[in-house]
């Protein structure tokens, strides 16, 4: 039996995972490390780029110590997307925080671009609507806020990239400054038709293109691990790079069936592969899912800013010990008693795109109990996903029959049933939740002697809707009214 392994790194927002994937598709060994997120002021969210790299290096050391490093055929990277790092090209040290995807600090810049009438042009070139989620405006913010950063950038002294680029730089000892097409397409600086960094987008966002990494197909040989930097054997190749949501879609489609996948983590991502670039008319993003040497795979995506984070927030607010207790409390009542929680804790993402919206709880009465709020929290995760599913139906021109689920929240059976009931669709849950890591490992394996099998249908669980249609419509009507109220309130606060 071939014992060659793929080391898959899945660098996420709240934790980093590292897996050794065997040729039969099994996870030989895995380790994880929690990641800290800081919120220095309302609407801001950031991490330490140094801590991100230190966490990855520590996990690599743990796994490499458990096996013969020479058995590791290559490294694969999946990463939290839209998080941006700016660093010194000579020292390799970050010169500011890693501004993460949830951060709203660039909201004013985004509003100014929208008010100036640039949104249609930006969408046409990048596929992405103007929103603080995307990195372009954040890069400009960093350049203008960090002393001398813009001048240093113009002199070629700085480098900038998403987390995959930051990890590639560190793994290769600064020899490689690169990214893949999928991650590049999430920056709002990449033209997804010409497949190049776009000079007009760079002008609009005021970002020097010289900062940015070389863009390569997702299954490229991105370089080799530099001597002495990690516990891996010198020269171990880096064989694949994908954004975490893109890698999850790749894994869900490993048997050749095109599926709509939902990754439910801190936020949520719904993604459907498309034959060509589609222009959404319903609040979704056109994006590149991945690229191989022979073709580019496009997709439609809806991003939800707060999903699992809503459960963590409610757990704290209700004084519960953990999210399992929140689920148990939610399951102790049959419904939310009319309570609706709109978890716009970092604004609203797809399909509403209202960065100034804030969280609301409506429908409270003297009969409301903590259990009703707990249930409304889980319902809110499902209802937000339902909004994006409806947008996908409209853009694709046909209803999505079923949803393939991954991410940490996929383990919550009550949430899975709620999702089936809210959307009226079959929910398919894999018994193996690490879809992002396995997806990028699969892509990396294609370039080695390792060949991973397609996921086993017998390892999947199914949740079918049981909620009566009339009850579903009442729930959806309350939700739409609450979301509309949150959006109206945001509009009022702007004036």
Question: Residue 68's domain is classified under what CATH number?
Answer: 3.30.420.40
Rounded to whole angstroms, the Cα distance separating 128 from 122 reads 7
Candidates 177, 186, 218; CA nearest to 101 is 186
pLDDT at 323: 94
**Maximum CA pair distance of the chain?**
68
- Backbone torsions φ then ψ of 449, nearest 5 degrees: -75, -5
Reading the block at residue 10, the tokens are 């899945």
- In a domain, residue 81? The reply is yes
Closest CA to 389 of 281, 271, 247, 244: 271
pLDDT at res. 450: 58
Which H or E run includes 314? helix 308-317
- pLDDT over threshold 90, residue 425: yes
Which residue has tokens 């776009």? 198
- Structural domains counted in the chain: 1
> For 38, which DSSP code?
B
pLDDT value of residue 229: 73
Please list the alpha-helical segments (H only) found in 348-412: 370-396
Q: Are 403 and 260 in contact (CB under 8 A)?
A: yes
Pull the structure tokens for residue 409: 């929240």
439, 449 contact by CB (below 8 A)? no
What DSSP line would sit under 333-357, residue for residue?
Answer: SSS-TT-EEE--BTBB-TTT-BTT-
Task: Work out the burial of residue 328: count CB atoms within 10 Å of its CB; fewer than 13 is exposed, 13-18 middle, 19 or more buried.
Answer: middle
Predicted pLDDT of residue 449: 54
Encode burial over 153-162: b for 16+ CB neighbours within 10 A, e otherwise. beeebbbbbb
Q: Residue 273 in contact with residue 299, Cβ under 8 Å? A: yes
Q: 26 or 16, which is more confident?
A: 16
Strands 426-430 and 402-406: parallel
pTM: 0.90
Instruction: Determine the average pLDDT of the residues in 158-173.
Output: 97
CA angle (289, 291, 293) in 5-degree steps:
170
Q: What is the pLDDT of residue 445?
A: 86
Residue 104 — pLDDT band, cuts 50, 70, 90?
A: very high
Block residue for tokens 């001048």: 151
The span from the CA of 180 to the CA of 489, in Å, is: 39
pLDDT band at 408 (very low <50, low <70, confident <90, very high): confident
Q: What is the CA radius of gyration of the chain?
A: 22
Give the number of other Cβ atoms within 10 Å of residue 124's Cβ: 13
What are the tens digits of pLDDT across the range 434-457? 889 999 999 998 766 556 666 555
385: tokens are: 């996903």
**What proportion of the chain, given as a percentage, has pLDDT over 90?**
81
Tokens of 329: 């409390």
In a domain? residue 219 = yes
Which pLDDT value is given to residue 1? Answer: 36
Q: How many CA atoms lie within 13 A of 49 on its CB side?
A: 26
Tell me what percent of the residues of the chain surpass a pLDDT of 70: 96
Q: How far apart (Å, rounded) are the C-alpha atoms in residues 57 and 100? A: 20
Write down the pLDDT at residue 433: 65
Is 479 inside a domain boundary? Answer: no
Q: What is the mean pLDDT of residues 375-395?
A: 96
CB 127 within 8 A of CB 285: yes
Whether 252 is in a domain gets the answer no
Segment 16-36 mean pLDDT = 91
Residues 125, 194 contacting (CB under 8 angstroms): no
User: Cis bond leading into 481, ω under 30°?
Assistant: no
Q: Is residue 465 part of a domain?
A: no
Is 224:238 a contact under the CB 8 Å cutoff?
Answer: yes
The DSSP code sequence of 102-131 is T--TTHHHHHHHHHTT-HHHHHHHHS--S-
- What pLDDT sits at residue 489? 86
pLDDT at residue 232, as a whole number: 86
What was the pLDDT predicted at 230? 75
Domain contains 230: yes
Helix H or strand E segment including 221? none
Produce one character per residue of 390-425: b if its CB has 16 or more CB atoms within 10 Å, e if not: bbbbbbbeeebebbbbbbbbbebeebbbbbbbbbeb
Contacts of 228 (CB under 8 A, 6+ apart): 234
Task: Give pLDDT, residue 495.
Answer: 39
Q: What is the pLDDT of residue 70?
A: 87
238-255 per-position pLDDT tens digit: 999 999 999 999 998 877
pLDDT higher than 60, residue 134: yes
pLDDT score of 452: 66
- Tell me the three state secondary structure of residue 486: helix
- E runs forming strands in 278-347: 285-292, 295-304, 340-342
Q: 282 lies in a domain? A: no
For tokens 């991650």, what's the residue?
183
Contact 6, 28 (CB under 8 A): no
More confident residue, 432 or 51: 51
Alpha carbons 457 and 430: distance in angstroms, whole number: 8
430 or 400: which carries more pLDDT confidence?
A: 400
**217 Cα distance to chain centroid:** 19
Query: Average pLDDT, stretch 209-238?
Result: 91
Give the pLDDT mean for 317-329: 96
Tokens standing for residue 430: 């894999």
The whole domain housing 20 covers 5-244
pLDDT digits (tens, 9 = 90+) for 260-298: 999 998 889 999 999 999 999 999 999 999 999 779 999
| CB contact at 8 A, 437 and 19 | yes
Cα angle vertex 269, ends 107, 22, to 5°?
130
Which of the residue ranges 183-197, 311-325, 436-450, 460-474 would you say has the lowest mean pLDDT?
Answer: 436-450
83 within domain boundaries? yes
The mean pLDDT value for 216-232 works out to 89
């Amino acid at each position: 039996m071939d014992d060659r392994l793929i080391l898959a790194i899945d660098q996420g927002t709240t934790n980093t995972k590292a897996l050794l994937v065997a040729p039969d598709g099994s996870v030989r060994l895995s380790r994880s490390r929690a990641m800290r997120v800081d919120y220095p002021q309302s609407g801001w969210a950031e991490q330490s780029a140094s801590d991100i790299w230190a966490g990855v290096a520590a996990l690599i050391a743990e796994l490499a110590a458990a096996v013969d490093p020479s058995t590791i055929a290559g490294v694969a990277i999946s990463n939290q997307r839209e998080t941006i790092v700016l660093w010194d090209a000579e020292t390799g040290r970050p010169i500011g925080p890693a501004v993460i995807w949830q951060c709203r600090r660039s909201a004013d810049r985004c509003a100014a671009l929208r008010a100036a009438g640039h949104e249609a042009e930006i969408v046409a070139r990048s596929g992405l609507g103007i929103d603080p989620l995307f990195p372009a405006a954040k890069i400009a913010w960093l350049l203008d806020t960090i002393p001398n950063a813009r001048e240093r950038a113009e002199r070629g002294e700085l480098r900038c990239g998403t987390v995959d680029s930051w990890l590639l730089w560190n793994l290769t000892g600064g020899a490689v400054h690169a990214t893949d097409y999928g991650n590049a397409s999430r920056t709002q600086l990449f033209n997804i038709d010409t497949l190049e960094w776009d000079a007009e987008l760079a002008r609009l966002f005021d970002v020097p293109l010289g900062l940015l990494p070389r863009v390569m197909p997702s299954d490229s040989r991105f370089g080799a691990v530099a001597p002495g930097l990690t516990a891996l054997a010198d020269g171990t190749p880096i064989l694949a790079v994908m954004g975490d949501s893109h890698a999850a879609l790749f894994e869900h489609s490993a048997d050749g069936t095109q599926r709509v996948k939902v990754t439910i983590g801190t936020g949520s991502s719904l993604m459907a592969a498309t034959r060509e670039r589609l222009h959404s008319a319903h609040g979704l993003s056109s994006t590149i899912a991945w690229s191989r040497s022979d073709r580019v795979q496009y997709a439609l995506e809806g991003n939800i800013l707060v999903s699992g984070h809503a459960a963590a927030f409610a757990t704290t607010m209700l004084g519960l010990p953990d999210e399992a207790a929140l689920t148990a409390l939610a399951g102790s009542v049959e419904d939310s008693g009319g309570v609706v929680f709109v978890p716009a804790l970092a604004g609203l993402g797809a399909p509403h795109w209202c960065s100034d919206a804030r969280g609301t709880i409506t429908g409270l009465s003297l009969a409301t109990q903590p259990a009703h709020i707990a249930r409304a929290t889980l319902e809110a995760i499902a209802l937000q996903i339902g909004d994006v599913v409806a947008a996908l139906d409209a853009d694709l021109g046909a209803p999505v029959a079923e949803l393939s689920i991954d991410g940490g929240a996929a383990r919550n059976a009550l949430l899975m049933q709620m999702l089936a009931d809210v959307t009226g669709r079959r929910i398919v849950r894999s018994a193996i939740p690490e879809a992002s890591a396995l997806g990028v490992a699969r892509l990396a394996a294609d370039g080695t002697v390792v060949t991973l099998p397609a996921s086993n249908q017998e390892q999947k669980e199914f949740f079918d809707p049981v909620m009566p249609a009339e009850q579903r419509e009442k729930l959806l009507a309350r939700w739409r009214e609450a979301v509309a109220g949150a959006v109206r309130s945001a509009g009022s606060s702007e004036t």
